[in-house]
């Protein structure tokens, strides 16, 4: 193995700082539906599912538990470095030589060339060089140019699972910056995602919006903006809310929203800021806005601040076993391929599944 950094798994450790979920406990068919596109990863995920991964971690001494969000975590007290060390110990026990500080810079006469001028001739090459986010971990995207010069079709990296830009009213965001909107449902085009988001000066971020990245990205590319609709009370119908409003004994609209409709202060702040006085004081208009509050996204966070990226090697550049069609015995796996998934363990699960699937294939060759 050749690694450009001085240690393994820098990106793995950084990801662990934000909530160390290693996969998700959903049924594998539902997990597969989370990916874009779905068909590309179906074989790998079906063969090496989340259940397989959980058992594999147990086999190397890492016990797991399912959290309230159905995400799967290492047992309480287990740190990311301990998980990484268990993986590295397994690699060493299989007598795999790890070559650190070896930055790959291209090919010469079909040999791999590294920055220290070392040439390596290999029967089989597996590239796993990551996507375009978190360059501090080594994901500098330099390999994209090398692949392109080799004639391999690539797509520039684009942020996914990232913050989205909304132009706020200044007086509103000064008060509510950093506040969450919990237990909501967001719709973009024909997709709906439940969860929560956080209001920031830049716009919004959080699991509910991350999962809509493919739809938002498409709209931004087509129209330079993307409209989303937020349901502040997805567990209640429009009529439920209207009945509660009409039957309230509160003296002010704010108190009705706060006490009877159980809206949070940031939600009420959004309604007051974005609705005209006529609509805010009209029960039907107000309730309609609670069930379908419109916001316009006008941009995405910088690439380096995204949790993950799309782009890289196009999927039709590899065969069903992840082999580059233009370069026999050269394979690509992981985030360097152009696929997408929400946060929650799905990104890591796909990488594990691809790695296992390819290993099984190569062992049978």
pLDDT at residue 141, rounded to an integer = 87
Sequence-ordered list of residues with C-beta below 8 angstroms from that of 206, at least 6 positions apart, any chain: 180, 195, 196, 197, 198
Q: Which residues of the chain have pLDDT under 70?
A: 16-18
Sequence-ordered list of residues with C-beta below 8 angstroms from that of 279, at least 6 positions apart, any chain: 285, 286, 289
Give Cα separations from 201 to 69, 109, 147, 271, 279 (angstroms).
Answer: 27, 52, 38, 18, 26
Asked if 331 and 337 count as a contact pair (C-beta separation under 8 A), the reply is no
pLDDT at residue 157, rounded to an integer = 95
pLDDT at residue 317, rounded to an integer = 97
**Encoding tokens for residue 170?**
């200044």
Q: How far is CA 254 from the centre of its chain?
A: 36
Q: Which residues pair with 154 in a beta bridge?
A: 313
**Encoding tokens for residue 35?**
């990916």
> CA 359 to CA 294: how far, in whole Å?
47
Number of H helices, E strands in the chain: 15, 17
Please provide the average confidence, as pLDDT, over all residues in the chain. Answer: 94
Sequence-ordered list of residues with C-beta below 8 angstroms from that of 213, at least 6 positions apart, any chain: 160, 161, 162, 340, 342
Burial class (CB in 10 A: 0-12, 13-18, 19+), 362: middle
Matching CATH number, 10-160+307-364, of 3.40.50.300, 3.40.50.1000, 3.50.50.60, 2.40.10.120: 3.50.50.60
**Encoding tokens for residue 365?**
């060759």
Q: What is the largest CA-CA distance in the chain?
A: 82
pLDDT at residue 252, rounded to an integer = 96
pLDDT at residue 16, rounded to an integer = 66
Q: What single string gives the DSSP state of each residue in 226-275?
A: EEEEEES-TTS-HHHHHHHHHT---SSHHHIIIIIS---HHHHHHHHHHS
pLDDT at residue 24, rounded to an integer = 96
> Which residues of the chain form CATH 3.50.50.60?
10-160+307-364
Helix (H, G, I), strand (E, B) or coil at 186: strand
pLDDT at residue 363, rounded to an integer = 94
| Percent of the chain whose predicted confidence (pLDDT) is above 70 | 99
């Amino acid at each position: 193995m050749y690694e450009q950094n001085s240690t393994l798994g820098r990106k793995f450790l950084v990801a662990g700082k934000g909530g160390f979920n290693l996969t998700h406990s959903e049924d594998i068919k539902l997990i597969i539906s989370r990916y874009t596109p779905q068909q590309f990863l179906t074989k790998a995920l079906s063969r090496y599912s989340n259940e397989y991964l959980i058992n594999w971690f147990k086999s190397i001494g890492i016990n797991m538990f399912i959290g309230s969000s159905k995400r799967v975590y290492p047992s309480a007290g287990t740190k990311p470095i301990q998980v990484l060390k268990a993986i590295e110990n397994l690699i060493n026990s299989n007598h795999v030589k790890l070559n650190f500080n070896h930055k790959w810079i291209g090919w010469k006469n079909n040999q791999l060339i590294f920055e220290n001028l070392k040439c390596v001739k290999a029967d089989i090459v597996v590239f796993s060089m990551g996507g375009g986010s978190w360059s501090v971990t080594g994901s500098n995207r330099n390999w994209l140019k090398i692949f392109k010069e080799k004639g391999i079709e690539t797509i520039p990296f684009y942020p996914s699972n990232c913050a989205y830009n909304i132009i706020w009213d200044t007086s509103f965001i000064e008060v509510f910056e950093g506040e969450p909107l919990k237990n909501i449902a967001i719709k973009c085009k024909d997709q709906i995602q439940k969860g929560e988001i956080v209001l920031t000066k830049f716009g919004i971020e959080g699991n509910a919006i991350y999962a809509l990245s493919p739809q938002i990205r498409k709209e931004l590319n087509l129209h330079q903006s993307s409209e989303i609709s937020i349901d502040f009370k997805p567990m209640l119908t429009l009529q439920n809310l209207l009945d509660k409003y009409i039957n309230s004994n509160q003296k002010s609209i704010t108190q009705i929203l706060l006490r009877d409709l159980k809206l949070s202060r940031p939600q009420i702040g959004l309604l007051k800021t974005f609705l005209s006085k006529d609509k805010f004081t009209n029960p039907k208009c107000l309730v309609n806005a609670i069930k379908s509050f419109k916001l316009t996204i006008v941009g995405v966070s910088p690439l380096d601040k995204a949790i993950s990226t799309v782009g890289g090697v196009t999927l039709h550049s590899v065969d069903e076993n992840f082999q580059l069609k233009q370069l026999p015995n050269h394979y690509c796996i992981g985030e360097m391929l152009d696929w997408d998934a929400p946060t929650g363990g799905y990104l890591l699960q796909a990488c594990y599944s691809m790695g296992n699937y390819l290993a099984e294939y190569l062992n049978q060759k």
